Amino acid sequence: MKRVILVALFAISGLVIAGFAAAADKQKFTGVIADGMCADADHSRMRMGPTDAECARACNEEHGAPYVLYDGSKVYTLSDQKTAEKFAGAKVTITGTLDARKSTIQVDSIAQTK
């Protein structure tokens, strides 16, 4: 009986530690929501619309370019394309987990910043 209790306690403590480790991986990223074709948020080459937001949406819809976050030096693919579309062309802060190997952010939330 004691052995079963000890095993259960170790299992529970392992889950708690794993939960804390997962929460520690959350980061905040700030930048502009652009599209994969104009990833550096310079839409002057494509100019698919009169504004950066309209250009990003057009590149997404007409060319299948994914929405990305451009932070001024790096481009990150976003896991949540539907929410990113709402913020196309805007400066945002994204909370999520970075997969550095794929340069992808697993998005938890997106909020517009000033």
Q: Where are the extended beta strands (E) located within the chain?
A: 26-35, 67-70, 75-78, 91-99, 104-112
Q: Among residues of the chain, what percentage have pLDDT more than 90?
A: 58
**Which pTM does this prediction carry?**
0.73
Q: Where residue 100 falls among pLDDT bands split at 50, 70, 90? A: very high
Model confidence pLDDT, tens digit, residues 18-64: 554 455 599 999 999 999 987 666 656 666 777 889 989 999 999 99
Both tokens assigned to 110: 């997106």
What pLDDT is recorded for position 109? Answer: 98
Query: What is the rounded CA–CA span in Å between residue 112 and residue 39?
Result: 18
Domains and CATH numbers, the chain: 27-112 (2.40.50)
What pLDDT is recorded for position 14? Answer: 58
